[in-house]
Amino acid sequence: MAQNSVIKVVYTEDIVRDAVRTFVWRRGIVGQKRLWIAEVAMIALLLWNGDRGWVATIMFAIILLPPAMIAVMWIAHHRNTVGKYRRMRTPDATLTLRDEALVVASDLGSATIPWSTLTEIWERPAYWMIFIGPNQFFTLPLQTVSPTDRDFLRSKVARVS
């Protein structure tokens, strides 16, 4: 049976802000466990060693890199995601689910996204984050998305979490 559902969704600033928080937390903190373990080990080594020379200065600079990475990730995604939301004249979009692609349209423009481009869906209670790359996603508010359309979307993406 051919799919051609049209869904009108409405965005809120709370949803897009939460999507940024979720992304930074999952990709930058939870997804980088080894980095944060190394971070704690380096802090412990720096405190235990007590050396205040050039080696300690270099270690301190290295210790600052992961938090700086999180700050840059936060700023970039906040500006992109929340910035797009704020540029919308009306905070809504129309999604069309077709057999071959997902079509997204808002007053900012439109895009046809082949299903093969979607890499992952993160399911949240009020919205989904649909990824088209490891660090690139769009947010889908769920208030008007039927269970049938949700199942169809899940069937088109390999990783759903």
Question: pLDDT tens across 101-135, in order?
Answer: 999 999 999 999 999 999 999 999 999 999 999 89
Can you give the pLDDT at residue 1? 44
Q: How far is CA 59 from CA 40, 52, 53, 68, 106, in A?
A: 12, 10, 10, 15, 48
Question: Which segments of 50-128 does DSSP mark as H helices, in order?
Answer: 54-77, 83-87
pTM of the entire predicted model: 0.82
The answer to whether the beta carbons of residues 102 and 110 sit under 8 Å apart is: no
Residue for token pair 């050039």: 54
Beta strands in 91-158 (DSSP E): 92-98, 101-106, 109-114, 120-123, 127-133, 136-141
Question: pLDDT tens across 4-14, in order?
Answer: 899 999 999 99
Alpha-carbon span 69 to 36, nearest angstrom: 12
Question: pLDDT tens across 48-74, in order?
Answer: 776 677 777 777 778 888 888 899 999
Helix, strand, or coil here: 93? Answer: strand
Alpha-carbon span 69 to 83, nearest angstrom: 20
Phi, psi of 132 (to 5 degrees): -115, 15
Range with lowest mean pLDDT among 38-42, 127-131, 139-143: 38-42
